[in-house]
Amino acid sequence: MIGDLVKGLATTVRYMFRKPVTIEYPEVKRPVRERFRGKHELKRFENGMERCIGCSLCSAACPSDAILVVPAENNPQQPNSPGERYAATYEINMLRCIFCGYCEDACPTNAIVLEHQYELSYYDRRASIYTKDMLLVPPDQGHGAIPPVLEQVNRTPSPPAQIEL
Ligand code: SF4
Ligand code: SF4
């Protein structure tokens, strides 16, 4: 018993002379790990077009039904995204989100990405709905070229194969 007491006191004394590890948040923000999953961002291609093609795969993959996607047809003269469709509405209910990253994994165009922003407090339930305007990055922050498969979406469809019955 005395041995345990001495051991405990020795630990206390040892830590008394070490530099404190307290971080004075919010003045000092500790960098998060590279694979940390924080607030989502909707990304763009390097030419400023939205990466989201409104396919709703993220919504289907979400285990907590937190994502609402309402797709619409692109105007060929002024398309929002390189695909035939884009997300006219894109919302994430942050009260439901468990930051699992399944939406990110399911997205075929790397449009939805969980980034490092973790300051997500709000005072009422309605504020927990993050809209497309809140998620979409500015046009000058796009990256990556449009993949050829998306460039070809407006091609004339091949006629269906004739099947002998
Ligand atoms: S991180 Fe997970 S829970 Fe949150 S929106 Fe994406 S799939 Fe849904
Ligand atoms: S974020 Fe990705 S998976 Fe979700 S609708 Fe847009 S393109 Fe599809």
- Output the domain CATH number for residue 40: 3.30.70.3270
Residue whose Cα lies nearest atom 1 of ligand 1: it is 99
Residue whose Cα lies nearest atom 7 of ligand 2: it is 52
CA distances, 94 to each of 45, 67, 111, 154, 161 (Å): 25, 9, 18, 35, 46
In the chain, what are the helix, strand and coil shares in percent, each to the nearest 5?
Answer: 25, 15, 60
Q: Which of 64, 91, 92, 114 to mutate to test the pocket of ligand 1 (most atoms within 8 A of CB)?
A: 64
∠ at Cα 88 (63, 101), nearest 5°?
Answer: 25
CB burial string 98-132: b at 16+ within 10 A, e below: ebeebbbebbebebbbbeeeeeeeeeeeeebbbeb
Question: What per-residue confidence (pLDDT) applies to 159?
Answer: 56
Ligand 1 atom, smallest distance to 65 CA: 8
Closest CA to 39 of 106, 122, 109, 124: 122
Residues in the chain, pLDDT under 50: none
Q: Which of 44, 53, 74 to mutate to test the pocket of ligand 2 (most atoms within 8 A of CB)?
A: 53
Determine, yes or no, domain membership for 20: no
Question: What per-residue confidence (pLDDT) applies to 151?
Answer: 77
Determine, yes or no, domain membership for 1: no
Determine, yes or no, domain membership for 111: yes
Determine, yes or no, domain membership for 165: no
Residue 106 token pair: 């399911």
Cβ-proximal residues to 82 (8 Å cutoff; 6+ apart), any chain: 45, 49, 53, 146, 150, 151, 153
Chain CA centroid to CA 91, Å: 11
* Residue 4: its H or E element: helix 2-16
Determine, yes or no, domain membership for 153: no
Question: What per-residue confidence (pLDDT) applies to 153?
Answer: 58
How many domains does the chain divide into?
Answer: 1
Determine, yes or no, domain membership for 4: no
Spatial separation of the C-alpha atoms in residues 40 and 94, rounded to whole Å: 10
Question: What per-residue confidence (pLDDT) applies to 2?
Answer: 87
Determine, yes or no, domain membership for 149: no
| Mean model confidence pLDDT for the chain | 91
Q: Which of 107, 135, 153 to mutate to test the pocket of ligand 2 (most atoms within 8 A of CB)?
A: 107
Domain residue limits at 85: 31-144
Residues in contact with ligand 1 by the CB-under-6-Å rule are 61-64, 66-67, 92, 97-103
Whole-prediction pTM: 0.82
Determine, yes or no, domain membership for 161: no
Strand partners, 44: 50
